[in-house]
Structure 1
Amino acid sequence: MAFVIVTGVSGAGKTRAVNALEDIGFYCVDNMPPALIPKFAELCVNTQGKIKNIAIVTDVRGGALFNSLFDGLEELKKQGCEYKIMFIDADNSVIIRRFKETRRKHPLSEAGMSIEEALEQERELLRPARERADYIIDTTNLSPAQLKQRITVLFMGDKRTGLIVNCMSFGFKYGIPPEGDLIFDVRCFPNPFYIESLKRLTGLDEPVRDYVFASEKTRGFVAKLFDMIDYLLPLYAEEGKSQLVVGIGCTGGKHRSVAIAEALYKHLLEKDIRAAVNHRDIQKP
């Protein structure tokens, strides 16, 4: 039975994450007090397999009850129930904009308190959960469809246990992905953007791929990148890491980074490693 604890910052996208989990067959419960999690897990086990995959959302909406999260999870472990923590996050500026658009009140806000102050207080309360999270998904630059894809790959892909590698292309002009574990800068390689016939294409198009990999420097870098990832993955897996995000960045996130992230993704699949690819900024202007 897959048991997922979903938590994270208010306004970061937990509701969309839970909707994605429901779409792939999870039984989801929102805003459950942590102390009730072990009892709920026990009830689910007693359904004799009728409920196989469970996702529970617990966060600061529970007020002081949230402080007992790790006591509840420790009890869950004593019951022999393995769980994963998925933490949903986003930049403060994006969260503030979302609150203003929806005109909703932050769950920790009090009279005279700004959203910024409420977020600061919330992040401090959530810090231990973020540090222990198995999966951290930052939704700052993710569309709802991209978020759903990330979650689907995490929980609907190959059922083998072990590490999953997310190969993410991005543009440095839009910021480094906060969830990135390893970041590689490929701006030093020939840029298709300055070739008129390639400028409006992306790294998913064959002419751009051919141009990127025509450079001996690019091919040398990619060979060394493959060697490094191949060496590191068993070490991360031995440490117990569940997800590794490898960020490949160029200037705009459309050409070089996309082509190289795709190459890394295909390399990992050829080695029978669980992998996903996400081009964060490919649709940006």
Structure 2
Amino acid sequence: MNGARPTLVIVSGLSGSGKSVALKTFEDLDYYCVDNLPVELLPAFVRSMIREDGLPPRMAVGIDVRSRHSDLSRLSEWRATAESLGVDARLLYFESSDEVLLRRFADTRRRHPLTRLGLSLPEALVRERELTAPLRGEADTVIDTSTLNVHQLRRQVITGFALEHSPGLSLLFESFAYRHGVPEEADFVFDARVLPNPHWDDELRPLTGRDGRVRDYLDAQPDVTLYVGQVAGFLDTWLPRLRNETRAYVTVAFGCTGGKHRSVYLAERLAAHARTQGWEEVATYHREQD
């Protein structure tokens, strides 16, 4: 990462607002992740990560009201101590409306962590907002998930935080199904429906473009080899010209009929190709699968 300080993302916020989805997304982006860390152990966690070759370049921790004896108001103190150990600590806070949170808890039948105190669910939500208010006030980024589904949340974490806060231009390779619409945020869109479709093979139909058997099938198709070569050449020529100070990331989208085989395969393969070309910040997002 060109000598940049290692990144430590502190994921916090309200229960049911998407923290677990966010941590899983960071894990998919090769962050070293730990959930439900007591806030006072933040410096100890960073110390434990120090190796002979330094700290891991990317780490993420979940800190919230589940740690019943932790004083969340002291996060600023522990965050400063962690930063003195050599990390760039950023706080990402998730929230949602009470109406949406109540519905999510009802749908999942999960218990709110503060109901152990004898509080009703509405009371627990109010108390949690009070306890996490210092974290929200200190947050570098606040994401309201009231109107987001899981797929939209994952994408927002990738593009709005994990990539946007990376140095230089970052690339997101996305797959999608045309029947659900073209991603509005895509900078480049490539249509994979012209390629042989693994869907018509009964053994490959249940799999996705990330599975080895589907990759082998598509790798063996001359049209796929030609397609990949031409798209790779196009991207190798034009992506470097998009580097500038005002653009944080570029989305390259591949679409097919169902967003399951060809588009997923192409997004993964072209992302791997980009990494071989020296792009350091590369992520994939499969809209119909993730």
* TM range, smaller chain: 0.5 to 0.7
2:38 matched to which residue of 1? 33
Q: Retained in 2: the 8 A contact 1:87–1:130?
A: yes
For 1:77 and 1:203, locate their aligned partners in 2 and report how far apart those are by CA, in whole Å.
37
Q: How does 1:14-163 map to 2 (within 5 A)?
A: 14-46=19-51, 48-49=53-54, 51-67=56-72, 68-110=74-116, 113-153=119-159, 154-157=161-164, 159-160=166-167
> Could you tell me which residue of structure 2 aligns to residue 9 of structure 1?
14
Runs of 4+ in 1 over 3 A off after TM superposition: 201-204, 269-272, 274-277
> SS at the partner of 1:87?
strand
Question: Using the alignment, how far apart are the partners of 1:147 and 1:49 within structure 2?
Answer: 32
The 8 Å contact of residues 24 and 156 in structure 1, kept in 2 or not, is answered as no
Distance change in 2, residues 1:203/1:82 (3 Å)? closer
Q: Is the 8 A contact 2:136 2:142 kept in 1?
A: yes
Name the CA shift for 1:270/1:78 in 2 (closer, same or farther; >3 Å). Answer: closer
Structure 2 gaps of 5+ residues are 1-5, 171-180, 185-241, 251-290
- 2:164 touches 2:249 (CA, 8 Å); kept in 1? no
Partner Cα distance (1:80, 1:202) in 2: 42
Alignment of 1:274 with 2:280, yes or no, is no
Going from structure 1 to structure 2, the CA distance change for 1:26 and 1:111 (only over 3 Å counts) comes to closer
Count of aligned residue pairs for this structure pair: 177
Question: Do the aligned partners of residues 112 and 43 (structure 1) sit closer, same or farther apart at CA in structure 2, a change above 3 Å counting?
Answer: closer
* Letter of the structure 2 residue corresponding to residue 149 of structure 1: R
Q: Look up the SS of the partner of 2:113 in the other structure.
A: coil
Describe the shift of the 1:34–1:202 C-alpha distance in structure 2 as closer, same or farther (beyond 3 A).
Answer: closer
In 1, Cα distance between equivalents of 2:77 and 2:51:
22
User: Per-residue deviation at 1:81?
Assistant: 2.5
- 1:48, CA displacement in angstroms? 1.9
Q: Structure 1 residues 73 and 202, CA, compared in 2 at 3 Å: closer, same or farther?
A: closer
**Residues 82 and 117 of structure 1: is their aligned pair in 2 closer, same or farther, counting only changes over 3 Å?**
same
Task: Tell me the distance in 2 between the aligned counterparts of 1:81 and 1:50.
Answer: 8
The one-letter code matched in structure 1 to 2:140 is D
Aligned 8 A contact 2:7 2:87 in 1: no
Paired with 2:183 and 2:156, the residues of 1 have a C-alpha distance of 20
Superposed CA offset, 1:164-184 (max 9, x none): 9xxxxxxxxxxxxxxxxxxxx
Distance 1:276 1:92, change over 3 A: farther
Distance (whole Å) between structure 2 residues aligned to residue 108 and residue 158 of structure 1: 33
The alpha-carbon distance between structure 1 residues 116 and 276, as it changes in their structure 2 partners (threshold 3 A), is farther
**RMSD of the alignment, in Å?**
3.0
**Cα deviation 1:89-126 (Å, max 9, x = unaligned):** 11111111111112111111246522111111110111
Structure 1: give runs of 5+ residues left out of the alignment. 165-200, 205-268, 278-285
1:49 Cα deviation from its structure 2 partner: 4.7
Name the CA shift for 1:158/1:104 in 2 (closer, same or farther; >3 Å).
closer
- Identical residues among aligned pairs (%): 34
TM-score (norm 1): 0.55
